Amino acid sequence: MKGRALLMIPGPIEFEPEVLQALGAPTTSHVAPVFIDAFGRALERLREVWQCPSGQPFVVAGSGTLAMELAGANLIEPGDRALVVSTGVFGDRFEDLLSRHGARVTVLRAPVGEIVSAADIDAELGRERYKLVTVTHVDTSTGVRMDVSRLGEISHRHGTLAVVDGVCSVGGEELRQELWQLDVVLTASQKAIGVPPGLALLVASPRALEAFGARRRPVGSYYADWTKWLPVMKAYESRTAGYFGTPAVNLVAALDVSLGQIVSEGMETRWARHALLARAFQAGVDSLGLMQVPSKPAQRAHTLSACYAPENIEVPTLLQEVQSAGVTVAGGLHPEIRTRTFRVGHMGAVRAADVLATLGALETGLRRVGHRFDVGVGVAAAQRALVS
């Protein structure tokens, strides 16, 4: 027996065996030729996955929050104005982060389950001179997906840098950084990129690097300073060693493997797979009579689903029953709805069988806590979506 539950949370996710094999291989020196080659190849593959051939990739040991810091610390100076578009907890986190670096922050905050429209972003950027705007592509706390395809064009028209928090989207949601004129797109390794936690990943556009080069003051964060990391990234990509801090050798090797798998699958195919699996899972949830946090189906993420539990059912009890049926899902995160919601990740290595197994376990858990429905209705709805 496998001996553990299927992991279907919004990160960390289930990982491909080849990725775990690379992670568990004997650790090499960070200046060994085999590692230099893997790191350089991973940097090149980041450009393919981000769809940004002219961008500068950064791979730094740390979490997704560090990836946010790598953007904010290097592009904001004290007194700069920043616009934060928030659809949940992680948009709000950017408000705090940018303020710590001295930004004067304005927040466009959507009600829970809603988006901020492109028209509202455009209007606000027209009111003040903003240095940058941040948007969370998919907020993990609400499952709301923002359309960022026009963000770069709107931002550049107002002389503003466009920063996208893609922690829960890159590698799973359609995202074309260069075509969409996005200046920074950041993520973390443990979600749709498909590598265990520990790497902050970011691609900066030439425009972002130009803004960074025009800074008047040193970067306030020592570890996050692009001045320290840029020579390291350039060295490894040119197949020589660089040093500022010791890289996470095994994680970078695993990243190279996972990015190779993503590129081999093809971005169009990968985006379509995630969209199909999301439609299937969300159709199953709808058929079980559960409400979802995003107010409109078009605003639901393809990488995770945020769902309301039935009334009068304790979420921890439901999650325990789902766990006992063989699948681990996550509780709520957004403070306004934490006690009433649960979240399911369906990204990266997830396939149709995992979605069907998760719905089966969810049905079992719901029956055990007293929710009434026709057994099998959720799984059947998902199967119909998968073959339609």
Going along the chain from its start, the domains and CATH numbers come out as 6-11+266-387 (3.90.1150.10), 17-265 (3.40.640.10)
pLDDT for the residue numbered 2: 63
Sign of CA dihedral 211, 217, 220, 226: positive
Q: Is the pLDDT of residue 261 over 90?
A: yes
Residues 6+ apart with CB under 8 A from 111: none
pLDDT for the residue numbered 293: 98
pLDDT digits (tens, 9 = 90+) for 355-368: 999 999 999 999 99
Ordered DSSP codes for 218-254? --S-STT-HHHHHHHHHHHHTTS---SS---HHHHHH
pTM beyond 0.85, yes or no: yes
Q: Is the pLDDT of residue 45 over 50?
A: yes
pLDDT digits (tens, 9 = 90+) for 202-235: 999 999 999 999 999 999 999 999 999 999 999 9
How far apart CA 343 and CA 346 sit, in angstroms, is: 10
In contact, 66 and 72? CB cutoff 8 Å: no
